[in-house]
Homo-oligomer: A and B are copies of this chain.
């Protein structure tokens, strides 16, 4: 029993996942799904009782899990003894586990409704509990970190492009559309919507000069803003390949 719990809560890199481990993943997903649905007034108002009951159950499960983890942490050499347990408690994964239950425990004590609402949202951090057990997501984060310098470089180029686009359109359109292009920060919103090619259509140039500059910025700029995608894709593919071959 204890060994099974240990294997489930502190899985070794090479072992297969136990039913308990997978079950906990599904419970996390289910609890976040419930929290998401609860924000929708047309659902939460008629079924508030069910949402509250579900949350109580989830809270109990995650609290038990947290205590079990704390008790069993000694299975790892670095977390043995009381000092080891304290060290475990401040490790990133344990903190995420704590954040996943804490808001549910303290929410009742808060006086302000708005604050309660925000604290309740923090419970959604539970989703972060899944990342550590999901190989693909791990590969994704490793890929992002591995291509860090390239990503930073392309993000700087992106920001520069956004800035240049905003300045040009501010010069061209600020008189014609003071509401949308009346300052560089305002033009930045256009710049973002255009260079990411989202193009909501809430703001676009109407003067001939503005359209000319916007066309130039768009044709040259979308290449720059698309850079991170290409870089992450290349590294992600490589890392996942490596993770796969590590298994063999």
Contact = CB atoms under 8 A, between A and B. Distances in A.
- Give the oligomeric copy count: 4
25 contacts: A36-B163, A39-B170, A40-B184, A41-B183, A121-B167, A136-B152, A136-B156, A136-B157, A140-B153, A149-B240, A150-B237, A154-B236, A155-B219, A189-B211, A189-B215, A196-B219, A199-B200, A199-B201, A220-B228, A222-B229, A223-B231, A224-B232, A229-B230, A230-B230, A231-B237
Interface of A: 32, 36-37, 39-41, 118, 121, 124, 127, 131, 134-137, 139-140, 149-150, 152-158, 160, 163, 167, 170-171, 182-186, 188-189, 192-194, 196-202, 204, 211, 214-215, 218-220, 222-234, 236-237, 240, 244
B234 A41 contact: no
Given A121-B171, A233-B230, A41 B150 contact: no
A156 B137 CA distance: 7
B231 A233 contact: yes
A82 B196 CA distance: 49
Nearest to A216: B192
